[in-house]
Chain A
Amino acid sequence: MSELLLARWQFGVTTVYHFLFVPLTLGLSILVAIMETIYVKTGNETYKKMAQFWGKLFLINFAMGVVTGIVQEFQFGMNWSGYSRFVGDIFGAPLAVEALAAFFIESTFIGLWIFGWDKLSKVQHAAAIWLVAFATNLSAFWILVANSFMQQPVGYVLKNGRAEMTDFFALLTNPHVLYQFPHTVLSGFATAAFFVMGISAYHLLRKNYLDFFRRSFRLGLIMGVISILLVTTVGHFQGQHLVNSQPMKMAAAEAHWESADPAPLALVAFIDEKAQANSFEIKIPKLLSFLSYNTFSGEVKGIKEIQAEYEAKYGPGNYIPPVTPVFWSFRIMVGAGVLMILLALYGLYLTRKGQLEEKAWFLKAMLWAIPLPYIANTSGWLVAEIGRQPWIVQGLQKVEEAISPSVSAGAVLTTLVGFTVLYGALAVADVYLLTKYAKQGPEETITPKSVGTSKEVSLWT
């Protein structure tokens, strides 16, 4: 395999893996902060237990998010030095500000939160988790500012053989980030909501700590209903924005080869990328036009026409991303989202009727629904990043020009295998711990365990 392909795989593996942990961190930090705030306000010990129980799960997940994030910052220089030289003037700034303005707060105050239960006042301690929650979400903003430049470059000029920043404010108000940030953060909230509801459902089914998990479920439900409805709405407008800013990505997401007015929406398609056509499809007339423009008419450009336009603009070459994975990832994302909406709304209905605990099948479904947001998040990023191909920065630099010339394919393969094996092993440990503590329930977590017998255990035998 070529260095390019290996480096892409490495980016894909490390990024998707990192983003398994980030969304839960975004939302769960806020839920834990809310729980602790209710405890501080009301003095109700149940909410303290809730903050501690969910906080423990939060920390197990948080650790994985942090350590895999370090790889993200380093690999631009390691595997993509061509990219780093070309856009470092712009791309580095939000990363550096993220470290200074967000990551420092997050890492410092998480230490205070973990170790400060009896060293800080109640209000200070609650403030620490709020700062963590705030900084985590702020962190997402800066990272998405950087990513949005790759999707929609703004505020720059080409000079000295590279892209140089001319307007930092334009970078912050990049139209792309104005959709991407709420979409991503709200997906994180939905992830946490389904995580909390799923684990609570597990215990409600077994009649464990009923009061505790009823309250937890209700908090999760509120966050879930609000976030999943908002994320869909934002997603709709984001799609419309992309039709204009990255038409090729959206055309690929719809496997929409020929321009059409009005354009139909393909629900399912067998895609023949070589022939640039779909051998079979189930279509709904006019729907793609409607989704693109909110009216049932209007031309939506097809892949072939956009390809011709790009050739005229950027010279000969293939500007079509891999259509099949983008098309299906998009459908998986939307499908998972629709399921989440239905579950959340039905959960709301049941709770209002007071019938939640009578419907065992629903509680079971909620437990099994924990992976749904993860599937949606991952496939969403696959659409965003595969749909951007062959560009690393839309219209400015191609992926093939971005790799590190000094790094051999063998070296990339070594690290790719290394990261994959390491990540695989850590995933096992992480899932083991999350399952263990999720099943255990809150009682075990309230009293800090006494240290236990201090047996002599040698490190080396």
Chain B
Amino acid sequence: MDLNVLWFILVTVLFIGFFFLEGFDYGVGILLPVIGKTDTERRMIINTIGPFWDGNEVWMLTAGGALFAAFPNWYATLFSGFYLALFLILAALIVRGVAFEFRSKDENPTWRKCWDRMIFAGSLIPALLWGVAMTNLIRGVPIDDKMEYVGTFWDLLSPYTLVGGLAGLLVFALHGAIFLSLKIEGELAERSRKTALGLFIIAVPVFILLIVLSYSQTDIFTKLGAGLIFCGAAVALLLAYWFLRSGKSGLAFVFNGLTIVFSTLAIFWGLFPRVMVSSLNPAWSLTIYNASSSSYTLKIMTIAALILVPVVLLYQGWTYWVFRQRVNAKHLEY
């Protein structure tokens, strides 16, 4: 296996980690106004992700850094091509991050309401747009022979990619709802579970539509493995629903998480060895070879990643252990 392949795998892992982890804190943010009726409830809800969201977000930054270091042309084409979409994501993440820190630092209800809306919008926009971005990667965008994106912002919004965005949004919202049902005390946990059950009713058909559209709009199903695993994502979603209905929230969380893992995996598998598909000419697609850094840089980065990633996993895992108890209304740091 050459280093280009290894880095493609590592980037995939980083995106899976990012979507899995930040998926539930996006979801919690999206559901904040739905589930939290009073100020105390909203503080409890935010506190379920309080110790984690910042660390989760670094998965995205690391994925971005890894693209820059290992596949600079991918980073350059993607970030300049999806320019306004990324600006929206950045703006959302800025207000969201600040909102977590600022919202409880003043008791004025208007102040809190304002930041709560920021948390909602700041979670909803990226949840939606990451789905749009991922489906655009596999569907193909206008890229010319110089690796430059030659479309506009509107070219990114097709019915297929919007379904991709909606599916992402729903699955993340579900991830958040199930996470809340596990991490919060009392009546709120039950309310979260009910919200999740309701969300499944919309999420399942949308997700199946996504798979059908992926079959017709992309070449992902020409690879048996990628196609199967995408269908596996749908099966996992159904199982998550079934487990949640039978009161097994823990397993529901795992299986809904698998939906995220499998979908991301299917898209990257479908892409391989391409990293961005050109809709103008297949020969102009970016691949793990024409988009990559030199072998020396890949080697250096490999050493760094092999040493550092396990350490990161250890202490992040430990954090989840430290904060394993359910959140109650007695200690609310945010």
Contacts and interface: CB of A to CB of B under 8 A. Distances in A.
Interface stretch (A84-92, A228-236, A345-353, A355-363): A84-92
A100 B309 contact: yes
Interface stretch (B162-170, B171-179, B289-297): B289-297
**7 tightest Cβ-Cβ pairs between the two chains A and B:** A88-B72, A77-B79, A92-B69, A92-B68, A96-B65, A63-B101, A111-B51
Interface in A27-77: 59-60, 62-64, 66-68, 70-71, 73-74, 76-77
20 contacts: A67-B98, A74-B86, A81-B79, A85-B147, A93-B293, A95-B69, A99-B61, A108-B58, A111-B50, A112-B319, A165-B300, A406-B83, A411-B153, A422-B94, A426-B94, A436-B105, A454-B40, A454-B41, A457-B112, A459-B120
B297 A457 contact: no
Nearest to B101: A63
A294 interface: no
Contacts of A210: none
A97 B68 CA distance: 11
B148 A107 contact: no
A317 interface: no
B323 A89 contact: no
Interface of B: 32-33, 37-41, 43, 47, 50-55, 57-58, 61-62, 64-70, 72-73, 75-81, 83-84, 86-87, 90-91, 93-95, 97-98, 100-102, 105-107, 109, 112-113, 116-117, 120, 146-150, 153, 293-294, 296-297, 300-301, 304-305, 308-309, 312, 315-316, 319, 322-323, 329, 331-333
Contacts of A73: 61, 64-65, 68
Q: Which of A81, A114, A404, A430 has the most CB of B within 10 A?
A: A81
Nearest to B112: A457
B293 A452 contact: no
Given A164-B296, A448-B331, A411 B83 contact: yes
B109 A93 contact: no
B105 A433 contact: yes
Given A96-B304, A455-B109, A63 B329 contact: no
Contacts of B73: 85, 88
Contacts of B316: 104, 108
Contact of B62 (A90, A96, A429): A96
B333 A448 contact: yes
B41 to A, nearest CB: 7
A76 B68 CA distance: 9
A424 to B, nearest CB: 12
Nearest to A90: B297
B80 A422 contact: no
Contacts of A168: 296, 300
A165 B62 contact: no
A361 to B, nearest CB: 33
Q: Which of B153, B297, B301 has the most CB of A within 10 A?
A: B297
A77 B309 contact: no
Nearest to A120: B322
Contacts of A91: 68
A49 to B, nearest CB: 17
Contact of A459 (B93, B102, B116): B116
A100 B301 CA distance: 11
A71 B90 contact: yes
A100 B62 contact: yes
A77 B51 contact: no
Nearest to B312: A104
Contact of B296 (A68, A165, A405): A165
Contacts of A84: 68, 72, 75-76, 79
Given A93-B297, A111-B319, A119-B322, A77 B150 contact: no
Contacts of B309: 100
Given A74-B79, A77-B80, 5 more contacts: A74-B90, A81-B80, A88-B75, A111-B55, A433-B102
B37 A456 contact: yes
Contact of B65 (A60, A92, A419): A92
B61 A406 contact: no
Nearest to B89: A74
A166 B294 CA distance: 9
Contact of A77 (B55, B62, B68): B68
A205 interface: no
A116 B38 CA distance: 25
A93 B69 contact: yes
A2 interface: no
Given A451-B329, A457-B112, A406 B296 contact: no
B68 A95 contact: yes
A221 to B, nearest CB: 28
A436 B101 CA distance: 15
Contacts of A103: 58, 61-62
Given A111-B50, A111-B54, A422-B94, A455 B39 contact: yes
B323 A88 contact: no
Contact of B76 (A64, A81, A90): A81
A63 B65 contact: no
A103 B61 CA distance: 9
A440 to B, nearest CB: 11
Contacts of A436: 105-106
A100 B304 contact: yes
